[in-house]
Amino acid sequence: MLEPVRRAVRVAVIGVCLSLFALPAPSASADSSVTTDGLALGRCTDPQGTITDLGPASMNNAPGNAELIGDKMYMVTRGLSPNVVGVYDLATDRVTTHYEIPTGIGAWATATIGTDLYVGTHLPSDLYKVDTVSGAVTKVASFDDDYIWNLAASPDGKIYLGFSQSGRVAEYDPTTGATRDLGMATAGEQYARSIAADATTIYVGVGSHAHLVAIDRATGAKREILPPELAGRDFVASMAASGTYLAMGISSNGELLVMEKANPADYQIVKASVPGEKYITTEVIDGDDVFFAGRPSGSFYRYNITSGKLDVLGVPYPEMATARLLAHGGKIYGLQEGAVFVYDKATGTMEYRNLVQRGLRAAPEQPMTLLSDGQRVYVSGKGGVQIHDLGTGQQSRLGLPGQPKAMVAVDGRIYMGVYTQALLYGYTPGAESAELLARVGNNQDRPRDMVYDESGGLLVMPTQPEPGHPDGALSIYDIAAKKLDVYRPVIDRQTVYSVTVDKGVAYLGSYLQEGFGLPPVAKQATLAAFDLSERRVRWQLDPVPGATFIADLVHLHGRIYGVTDNGVFFEVDPVRRQVLRTVQVGTAGGDLVVKGLAIYGTDGNRVYQVDPVTLEVTTVVDGLAGAWFDGAKLADDPAGCALYTVRDRNLIRIAVSGRPWRSS
């Protein structure tokens, strides 16, 4: 889902011990003896604003969905430029063809009518037809929504679409090209998340408060058919259909709902048996069996409708999400990040096939966040992190079962907050894999920021709750003790979005949005001071009227600086608990980095410098058009006079001086 600009990573810089406001304006030609981590003021040789292009920030081929046509699997990617449909030939075990999808940042939705593949994109929501005989790719319809979450084809050749943020359902007629708006599946709900259709009825799974709606195709009349004992769940998140049954994944207690279509009162609710399972990500009905995949374990299950027997068939890849299950020729195919697993029903064996090795095209993806430890730059994306070795210029990929949303480097180790499940991972450069350190739990989903408190040896990580849930959390991980403490709520009925730590106090910037799909309760983003020793909020204030969230926070010489979603930069005296000054730095907020005696920020299109003495704002570089997935990021180079960000989808190094520029 579309997310606002957010802070993901910061390498804090140790400041000069003198009072900032007692310092004279530094001379541009002076060779100062004042130093900060990785930066000797006056010794930076490249002019500020010099750009070095380091190539694509992160390469990926993450698939969003797939369909079978004959012996070929058609897989559509998400978050790439451009996105493609890759054709995996099951007989030859090779990816043989690619079709480009010109618009949209990705695709979750696919369906087939005969030999035609339909693909639904997001941002924008366009519907494409891929003629698999001629190879023609045609945009056949466009919709005024953010996401096409899923598609279904009816037996008589209509396509049905489920959307967010509107929660609408629509029909597309390939014969006439006409579309029909069937309205919101459930009033007040933003997500028509899963969908199926037969000769008479459209079935729609809804969230972020679970509903199952049957829509009469002829009249458009709607009726609720979710079993009463599932009221209060989050999503009917996935759906498969046969001539007789529906099989659906119910979030967030790891339940499978199997329902007879002709008699919705005849249903079975099956709890996934692996401890801690929360989600059923996909299912397929094959005869009398329902095969389904769970998270966070990554387990693969079989449920027999007649006997009621549930089996765990294995774990193709621990904790990995399975995007789609398909049945063909006595085998079940499971689509994951850059791979497909194959379960042979006759032998009970499972094979894991790497699609990259079989020719699935990779392309630059939208980066999510980035970090430099001085020797490497880490760029996170879907299913892992691209690692750029600054010494050799070589790149490698660290696989992860999710999307790192926040990273920090501490004593040669990289710590990552991973979506979904709000997981904390640790990674030692050069290791083959990362280590799962902790699970936040508490209905939390998205890490929003992470910083390190050196005085206490603590990682401080705020998180946003799952869709439909209230109250974000603040997680504090003691690295030496390997102990996680979670505090929820911290700021009542808000998410903690950004954080900086100074002298044992974590300063927290809030976001009015709790879990997505839940209407905000609070009216004003706030700044709170959280005592890390006492583990309580000391005070809070609202720094900027009208702010929806505080995109980032930093500290310098006893002052707290932040930037809001609407581009207002502010300075706070935490002793007097007052906002001292504000300045408009742009129209949007993004990451902030303290470098030397200056503060740098970005809105994705430009990198600017703020003089903390005068609050003068100077543009360092412009015209970047950074293709971030969920907001503009900026990372410090702790070993030199530079910052890292992206231009379009390329990683760039920007030379900076660390000295404020002053007009007088």
Task: Give the type of residue at 519.
Answer: P
Domain boundaries, the chain: 368-625
Q: Reply yes or no on whether the pLDDT at 36 is more than 80.
A: no
- Per-residue pLDDT of 224-236, as tens digits, reads 999 999 999 999 9
Of 245, 316, 377, 309, nearest to 642 by C-alpha is: 377
Q: Reply yes or no on whether the pLDDT at 399 is more than 60.
A: yes
State the DSSP string of 478-503.
ETTTTEEEEES-SSTTSEEEEEEEET
Q: Reply yes or no on whether the pLDDT at 651 is more than 50.
A: yes
The pair of structure tokens assigned to 523 is 């009216």
Q: What count of other Cβ atoms lies within 10 Å of the Cβ of residue 474?
A: 26
Could you tell me if 283 and 290 are in contact, meaning their C-beta atoms sit under 8 angstroms apart? yes
H or E stretch covering 164:
strand 159-164
pLDDT (0 to 100) of residue 45:
86
- Per-residue pLDDT of 487-533, as tens digits, reads 999 999 999 999 999 999 999 999 999 999 999 999 999 999 999 99
CA dihedral 289, 291, 294, 298 (to 10 degrees): 130
Q: Which residues contact 406 (CB under 8 A, 6 or more apart)?
A: 8, 9, 369, 416, 417, 447, 448, 449, 450, 461
Residue % of the chain over a pLDDT of 90: 91
> Which residues in 382-434 belong to E strands, given as ranges?
384-389, 395-399, 403-410, 413-419, 423-427
Q: Reply yes or no on whether the pLDDT at 4 is more than 70.
A: no
- Per-residue pLDDT of 283-335, as tens digits, reads 999 999 999 999 999 999 999 999 999 999 999 999 899 999 999 999 999 99
**Average confidence (pLDDT) over 7-26:** 29
Of 152, 142, 150, 147, nearest to 122 by C-alpha is: 147
pLDDT (0 to 100) of residue 15:
28
**Average confidence (pLDDT) over 175-200:** 98
- Rounded CA separation 656/24 (Å): 20
The pair of structure tokens assigned to 303 is 């449920």
Could you tell me if 107 and 64 are in contact, meaning their C-beta atoms sit under 8 angstroms apart? yes
pLDDT (0 to 100) of residue 663:
56
Instruction: Quickly state the pLDDT bin for 30 (edges 50, 70, 90).
Output: very low
Q: Reply yes or no on whether the pLDDT at 186 is more than 50.
A: yes
The pair of structure tokens assigned to 633 is 């990021």
- Rounded CA separation 401/161 (Å): 28
Q: Which residues contact 164 (CB under 8 A, 6 or more apart)?
A: 1, 145, 146, 147, 149, 190, 191, 192, 193
| CATH assignment, 368-625 | 2.120.10.80
Of 661, 659, 532, 660, nearest to 40 by C-alpha is: 659
pLDDT (0 to 100) of residue 22:
31
**Average confidence (pLDDT) over 531-538:** 98
Q: What is the mean pLDDT of the chain?
A: 93
